[in-house]
Amino acid sequence: MRRLIFIFPVCLVICCSSTDKEDSDVDSSMMVLLSTEEAKPDGHGLVSAEISFKGLDRASSLVIEKSSGAERTSLKFGTGIFTGNSTFQYAVKREDAASIEFYFHLNGKEGRMSPVTVLRVDNSSSRTFTSLSCTDFKVVSRITGTEDNGHDGLPSVEYEVFNNTPQRFDVGGTDLGISWEIAPGRYGMFFGDTFGADFKPNLTAPAPGGSNWRGNVLLFSEDNDLSDGLSISDAAVDDTGKAREICFSAHITSGTGDFTSIPTGAVHAGGKEYVHYMNIKTWQGWISNFSSLYTSSDSGVTWTRVKNVKFASRSNFGQVGMFNHDGYVYIIGTVTGRSSKPQLARVREEDIENQSEWEFWNGTFWLKDKESLAATLIDDYSGELSFAYLPQWGKWVLLYLNEQRNDQIIMRSADNIIGPWSEPQIMTNGESFWRPYGSFIHPISTKGGDKLYFVMSAWNAYNTYLISCKLNSMDN
């Protein structure tokens, strides 16, 4: 993957790169233009400025020099990454001084440089740097399949809800449970490969299987009190009343075509519902044909493919989590599978169906239509991730599986979606929860209180469970 970010953590004499330059060294036909010259961090310590350019075609690179107390650092970017206006963002660190200056200039192709543009940041307001921890981990209830509380080595639950999904919707074995809010108090839940009422877990050799295979199904819930478990109200069904496949798959199992379509993230945006899915070619190496979106304009009753959004087989957005916040849909993605590190994108919710409007975070800028320049968001291997903004804490929370470390389910938190993210907290692992995966935050977690609720899959049972834990604030 191409990278155009070079970091030089060395002392710089700022004046020598700006006003002390001879006039002959300065080319005023080039210019860095900022939407503001002075800024204060927002309540979460985030500094933002829109950036544009004059004479960019005559420049070879953009240099940003940061001065914060004794700290002097420099970033250099090739100008080829900029195709129009971009957004510069910086998250204030604990060690930053009360005053921060950013100096921007272009280096010309003929050796001259543009005048220096300065962004001055008043960082004098004190901030408290905290993160979240999660304690009192509980298996609240079983969501799908036959209610079987702790028998034959299956997970024990606090509450038996008896959703009876095998009898009601022909959902006997399934996984995932990607949850989002369709309308106030009504939630959609996308599940993965699903099998019929005759499904029986094979605890000696766990694997999905059974009749009426569907690559994905959609159930609904109107349960707004998860303290005693999660109840399913209805489903998107076919003419016989069985939960139907939403994202089409031809189910060609030879490994040469369309094996199955698996949902990875879902969101309500612009008055419509969206699900991101990966079209799997073969599970050997988790090779996909592509990933894309389906959308519904009738609250999840009918769905159509969004043909204008399509990510390639090895795209880092083949598998994603999605969350709508302040008019943007944020997307954290990985390559299909569990062996890559997450990257970040965003798109205005009204533009989600226009892939050219998607912006990718390269560590300093949001760059439109530049997927290859997205930077690693967290230096950790991630699978089946989900994330959400919790307004009652003023924090983002991210959950994911690290398969390489004994199937650990990890939680991290951050003040800003761009980070920095907290150190990992291990929620559970393969020794304590029957080979867990898929940790999908339920939207009820964003509505106040100190409980984080999420849906987790148990491979040995091949079904889904509601998990809760208590959130606590702690000093970083």
- Residues 38-54 have pLDDT tens digits of 999 999 999 999 999 99
Q: What is the DSSP letter of 113?
A: B
Which percentage of the chain shows pLDDT scores above 70?
Answer: 95
Q: Are 274 and 291 in contact (CB under 8 A)?
A: no
Predicted pLDDT at 23: 64
> 294 phi and psi, to 5 degrees?
-115, 155
247/294 Cα distance (integer angstroms): 7
**Of 126 and 435, more confident:** 435
* Mean pLDDT, range 195-222, rounded to an integer: 92
Predicted pLDDT at 16: 38
pLDDT above 50 for 357: yes
459/115 Cα distance (integer angstroms): 60
145/366 Cα distance (integer angstroms): 43
- Write the pLDDT tens digit of every residue in 307-328: 999 999 999 999 999 999 999 9
6-127 CATH fold:
Immunoglobulin-like (2.60.40)
Q: What is the DSSP letter of 168?
A: H
* Domain spans, the chain: 6-127, 131-475
- Write the pLDDT tens digit of every residue in 12-37: 333 334 444 556 789 999 999 999 99
Strands 287-296 and 304-311: antiparallel
Q: Average the pLDDT over each of 7-11, 50-54, 135-139 and give the range with the smallest value.
A: 7-11
> 214 phi and psi, to 5 degrees?
-125, 140
225/164 Cα distance (integer angstroms): 19
Nearest to 179, CA basis, from 414, 372, 453, 450? 453
Q: Average the pLDDT over each of 136-150, 199-213, 288-302, 351-365 and give the range with the smallest value.
A: 199-213
* Mean pLDDT, range 78-103, rounded to an integer: 95
Predicted pLDDT at 21: 52
DSSP secondary structure of 428-440: E-TTTTTSEEEEE
Average pLDDT, the chain: 93
Q: Which two tokens stand for residue 90?
A: 């910086």
* Mean pLDDT, range 394-408, rounded to an integer: 96
List of residues 6+ apart from 108 with CB closer than 8 A: 27, 30, 58, 59, 60, 114
244/359 Cα distance (integer angstroms): 34
| 167 sits in which H/E element | helix 165-169
Q: Specify whether domain 131-475 bears CATH 1.20.1050.10.
A: no
| 221 sits in which H/E element | strand 217-221
Write down how long the chain is: 476
Q: Measuring CA to CA, how many Å separate 187 from each of 75, 121, 164, 184, 267?
A: 44, 42, 18, 8, 10
Predicted pLDDT at 434: 82
Q: How confident is the model at residue 206 (pLDDT cuts 50, 70, 90)?
A: confident
pLDDT above 70 for 291: yes
Give residue 65's region: left, alpha or beta (phi > 0; psi -120 to 50). Answer: beta
